[in-house]
């Protein structure tokens, strides 16, 4: 493909969020001005053993740090703000977000000791922000968290619109409808390129209103004879509001458990986004002092996370809440792809202890609706914005592909649609678009306090250890003559049980001794060569005998 080498071209690309769910980070550059939209994290896949979270590789931004004018945040979900504490340690730029979004961001920055050194600017749907040669304006959207916005970036090349996560909810819980009038106005002025949420692009129809969940919750509360325990996403403030309303309607007190849930509830109440009647909230210590039919518990753990409050309740290991026979447990969320087994295991344990469980697959109640628009919502957005070029974002490849087909169905020409991967740069110049050179992207793995210090080699080693275990071979050599003074001692962990495999290990010991003696006789004195010889000989022998490949770690000492 041809490339435009003009310095003042408009470039758009993703550092995260394409061909994946999470880790959202999109970059718009014009000349020497760079604007970043969102800075999310992603939770690790099964093969990422021991990893806590995954964030985008921001090498490009660090190499161009003097050009980055700021980070615009569309809303307060982890897949859009979770990367900020890690990224802002390296990249000192202003962050712009709505009142609630910034409240959640500030909590993260306070924990990371970055609050005082980060410039934070609170915006609303009427704000205008100058970012070098670009200007950002905003429009209200509906999502499963209040204060969500879409972004319109006015650039010298044309308008670029980023929808954020959205659906069109005609009866929103907080009464804040999406600003379709403003979207239509932006579309009427002319939009060069639209970046739009593709999460539910495969799902027909419109996504249901969050208000229907409130009605469903109320119906479950009405039938419940004992305690009601509701698990949902901590950041789904509309859902939390409806649990608060249902508890109040049925004269129940409400206890909140789970660290992230407590944090979000406190921040939302403080900023006025969660309306809680006085006296409704109780401390978890008071749960057992009240009659069961007077108690509601709101908890984390809708995804079956092993250390979450609901999972510990189901296991009987939670310090303050025990599930009792006859309790009603509502999982007001659907499993994120990949979490189905964890959720099924938690549901099974809840049934085992005698709870009545209401969850997505067994419920006629409809205790969850998505925060993302389905096909008709997406087509409505396309028709309002009327972009010349279309760039589907936020989703796995099949979702991006489905979204592109929707765009074609509403009249966008196929050659004006860019289904991209992270790092693919789309360049605009003179109203024409083409692919430019690719940008370095990838995953930065966060493990404990280490950011980026665990890479593919370490993960490969962890995978090997988890599959076939490890053998440590310890040998002591004489410094003068190179002869074996003690050992070889072989230590097995996760490979074979030593007491039942004495003959195998004796044979392994003999192989190591022969290999070492051969190396000494051939005057091989480099330790790297000695270790490689031992590792190769022992690996071949063990595979022939067991069809397993444990990690072999030779330790050679000289005295």
Predicted confidence (pLDDT) per residue in 185-243, tens digit: 999 999 999 999 999 999 999 999 999 988 889 999 999 999 999 999 888 999 999 99
Q: Same domain, yes or no, for 320 and 250?
A: yes
248 within domain boundaries: yes
Question: Can you say which residues are annotated as belonging to the binding site for substrate?
Answer: 234-236, 368-372
Residue 394: per-residue pLDDT: 95
Q: Same domain, yes or no, for 388 and 507?
A: no
Q: Same domain, yes or no, for 179 and 75?
A: yes
Residue 230 neighbours by CB distance under 10 Å: 28
pLDDT > 70? residue 162? yes
Q: What is the pLDDT of residues 50-104, one digit of tens each?
A: 566 788 989 999 999 999 999 999 999 999 999 999 999 999 999 999 999 999 9
Q: What is the pLDDT of residues 436-487, one digit of tens each?
A: 999 988 877 766 555 655 556 655 666 666 677 787 888 887 776 667 777 7
Look at residues 307, 325, 359 and tell me which one is the last residue of a structural domain. 359
Question: Among this protein's residues, is 38 annotated catalytic?
Answer: no
Question: Can you say which residues are annotated as belonging to the binding site for Ca(2+)?
Answer: 50, 52, 447
Q: Same domain, yes or no, for 61 and 90?
A: yes
457 within domain boundaries: no
Q: Same domain, yes or no, for 385 and 351?
A: no
Q: Within its chain, how far is the Cα of 517 from the centroid? A: 53
Q: Same domain, yes or no, for 62 and 199?
A: yes
Which one from 372, 403, 424, 468 is the annotated catalytic residue?
372
Report the alpha-carbon distance of residue 351 to residue 357 in Å, rounded: 7
| Better pLDDT: 486 or 174 | 174
Q: Same domain, yes or no, for 416 and 340?
A: no
Residue 120: per-residue pLDDT: 96
Q: Same domain, yes or no, for 91 and 141?
A: yes
**What's phi and psi for 486, nearest 5 deg?**
-150, 155
- pLDDT tier at 519, thresholds 50, 70, 90: confident
Cα separation values, 364 from 217, 225, 351, 367, Å: 11, 19, 18, 9
Q: What is the pLDDT of residues 317-369, one digit of tens each?
A: 888 888 999 999 999 888 876 778 888 899 999 999 999 999 876 555 578 88
Percent of the chain with pLDDT over 70: 89
Report the alpha-carbon distance of residue 469 to residue 250 in Å, rounded: 55
Q: What is the pLDDT of residues 395-419, one digit of tens each?
A: 999 999 999 999 999 999 999 999 9
Per DSSP, 389 falls in state E
Q: Same domain, yes or no, for 511 and 479?
A: yes
Q: Same domain, yes or no, for 473 and 444?
A: no
Which one from 33, 197, 424, 468 is the annotated catalytic residue?
197
Structural domain span for residue 530: 469-558
Q: Within its chain, how far is the Cα of 77 from the centroid? A: 9
| CATH number for position 484 | 3.10.20.580
**What's phi and psi for 92, nearest 5 deg?**
-90, 90
Residue 522 neighbours by CB distance under 10 Å: 10
Nearest to 238 by CA among 214, 255, 259: 214
Mean of all residue pLDDT scores within the chain = 88
Q: Same domain, yes or no, for 199 and 235?
A: no
- Within 13 Å of residue 348, how many CA atoms lie on the same side as its CB? 6
CA angle 264, 85, 443 (to 5 degrees): 110
Total domains in the chain come to 3
- Within 13 Å of residue 315, how many CA atoms lie on the same side as its CB? 15
- pLDDT tier at 2, thresholds 50, 70, 90: very low
Look at residues 327, 359, 391 and tell me which one is the last residue of a structural domain. 359
Residue 6 is encoded by which pair of tokens? 């003009």
pLDDT > 90? residue 543? no
462 within domain boundaries: no
| CATH number for position 341 | 3.40.50.10710
Nearest to 391 by CA among 69, 17, 128: 17
Report the alpha-carbon distance of residue 80 to residue 455 in Å, rounded: 23
132 within domain boundaries: yes
Question: Among this protein's residues, is 107 annotated catalytic?
Answer: no
Mean pLDDT of 172-176: 90
Q: What is the pLDDT of residues 300-322, one digit of tens each?
A: 988 888 888 899 998 888 888 88
**What residues contact residue 467 under an 8 Å CB cut-off, 6+ apart?**
none
Q: Same domain, yes or no, for 248 and 353?
A: yes
460 within domain boundaries: no
């Amino acid at each position: 493909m041809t490339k435009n080498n003009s310095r003042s071209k408009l470039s758009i690309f993703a550092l995260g969020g394409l061909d994946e769910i999470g880790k959202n980070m999109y970059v718009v550059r014009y000349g020497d001005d760079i604007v970043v939209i969102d800075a999310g994290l992603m939770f690790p896949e099964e093969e990422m053993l021991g990893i806590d979270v995954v964030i985008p590789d921001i090498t490009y931004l660090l190499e161009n740090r003097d050009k980055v004018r700021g980070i615009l945040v569309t809303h307060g979900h982890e897949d859009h703000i979770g990367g900020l504490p890690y990224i802002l340690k390296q990249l000192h730029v202003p962050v712009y977000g709505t009142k609630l979004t910034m409240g959640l961001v500030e909590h993260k920055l306070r924990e990371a000791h970055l609050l005082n050194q980060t410039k934070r600017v609170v915006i609303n749907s009427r704000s205008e922000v100058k970012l070098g040669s670009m200007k950002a304006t905003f429009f209200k959207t509906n999502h499963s968290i209040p204060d969500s916005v879409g972004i319109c970036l006015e650039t010298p090349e044309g308008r670029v619109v980023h929808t954020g996560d959205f659906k069109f909810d005609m009866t929103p819980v907080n009464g804040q409808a999406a600003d379709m009038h403003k979207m239509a106005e932006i579309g009427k002025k002319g939009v060069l390129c639209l970046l739009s949420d593709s999460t539910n692009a495969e799902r027909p129809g419109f996504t249901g209103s969050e208000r229907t969940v409130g009605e469903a919750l109320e119906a479950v509360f009405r039938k419940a004879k004992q305690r009601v325990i509701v698990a949902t996403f901590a950041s789904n403030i509309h859902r939390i509001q409806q649990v608060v309303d249902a508890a109040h309607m049925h004269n129940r007190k409400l206890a909140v458990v789970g660290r992230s849930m407590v944090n979000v509830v406190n921040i939302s109440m403080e900023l006025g986004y969660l309306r809680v009647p006085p006296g409704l909230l109780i401390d978890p210590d008071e749960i057992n002092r009240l009659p069961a039919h007077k108690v509601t518990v709101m908890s984390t753990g809708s995804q079956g996370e092993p250390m979450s409050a609901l999972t510990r309740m189901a296991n009987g290991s939670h310090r303050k809440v025990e599930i009792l026979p006859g309790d009603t447990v509502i999982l007001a969320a659907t499993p994120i792809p990949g979490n189905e087994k964890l959720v099924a295991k938690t549901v099974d344990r809840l049934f085992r202890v005698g709870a009545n469980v209401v969850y997505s697959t067994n419920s006629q109640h409809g205790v969850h609706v998505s925060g993302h628009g389905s096909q008709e919502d997406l087509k409505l957005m396309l028709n309002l914005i009327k972009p010349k070029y279309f760039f589907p974002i936020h989703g796995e490849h099949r979702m991006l592909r489905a979204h592109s087909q929707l765009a074609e169905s509403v009249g966008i020409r196929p050659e004006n649609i860019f289904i991209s991967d992270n790092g693919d740069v789309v360049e605009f110049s003179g109203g024409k678009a083409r692919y430019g050179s690719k940008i370095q992207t990838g995953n930065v793995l966060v493990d404990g306090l280490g950011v980026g210090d665990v890479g593919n080699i370490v993960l490969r080693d962890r995978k090997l250890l988890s599959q076939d275990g490890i053998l440590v071979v310890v040998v002591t050599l004489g410094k003068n003559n190179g002869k074996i003074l003690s050992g070889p001692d072989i230590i097995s962990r996760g490979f074979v049980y030593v007491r039942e495999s004495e003959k195998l290990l004796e044979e392994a010991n003999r192989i190591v001794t022969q290999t070492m003696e051969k190396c000494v006789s051939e005057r091989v004195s480099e330790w790297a060569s000695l270790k490689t010889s031992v590792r190769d000989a022992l690996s071949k022998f063990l595979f022939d005998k067991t069809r397993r490949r444990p990690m072999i770690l030779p330790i050679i000492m000289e005295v």
